[in-house]
Amino acid sequence: MNLLVILSHPPYDGTDVVWNAILLIDTALIEGHKVYIFVMNDAVDVARKDSKPEGAEFDLTSMLIESIKRGAEVKICTTCVHCCGISKGDVIREAKLAGMSDLVKWIEEAALKRAQCYSCGQKRTPSFCSLVVMVNLRFAQAR
């Protein structure tokens, strides 16, 4: 299955929202799924070099880099990076700057591919059964 995860929650806000999303991503990768991650809004700090605040329990940026090494593709909203005052050189080199049109292309590509659906076993467009995850861990069935 192809899994698109859209991170939009701030990474170091005292919750475990982004940490849980990265655990979900890693689990999907380990189980052989293809994972696409689009980072936007306040979540762009997770793709900033050396963004772990002092005293934070986990280094979410390092966890994201490990997910990329396992095969996840990561794109970061260019506009969001600029709005948050992050320069291009401050973004981890493993991720690519992108725009909304890139996110739309990922969604379109999933809709055009035909394969056997893991959840129902039928040959159909995967987007009918593929999962899109928007963090704050809001789940929506892509149609």
Residue 103: give its domain's CATH number: 3.40.1260.10
Alpha-carbon gap, residue 84 to 79, rounded angstroms: 9
Measured in degrees and rounded to the nearest 5, phi and psi for residue 11 equal: -75, -35
Integer-rounded Cα radius of gyration of the chain: 15
Q: What is the pLDDT of residue 84?
A: 81
Nearest-10 Cα torsion for 26, 30, 35, 41: 0
Alpha-carbon gap, residue 138 to 24, rounded angstroms: 13
Long-range Cβ contact pairs of 87-94 (< 8 A, separation 24 or more): 90/48, 90/49, 91/47, 91/48, 91/49, 92/47, 92/48, 92/49, 92/61, 92/64, 92/65, 94/65, 94/68, 94/69
Cβ atoms within 10 Å of 7's Cβ, excluding its own? 30
Q: What is the pLDDT of residue 107?
A: 77
pLDDT more than 90, % of the chain = 41
33-68: pLDDT as tens digits: 889 999 999 999 999 888 888 888 889 999 999 999
Which range of residues forms the domain containing residue 67? 2-141
Query: pTM of this prediction?
Result: 0.78
108-134: pLDDT as tens digits: 776 555 444 445 555 554 443 444 555
Q: Report the number of distinct structural domains present in the chain.
A: 1
Q: What is the pLDDT of residue 121?
A: 53
Across 59-63, 66-70, 71-75, 139-143, least confident range? 139-143
Q: What is the mean pLDDT of residues 90-97?
A: 90
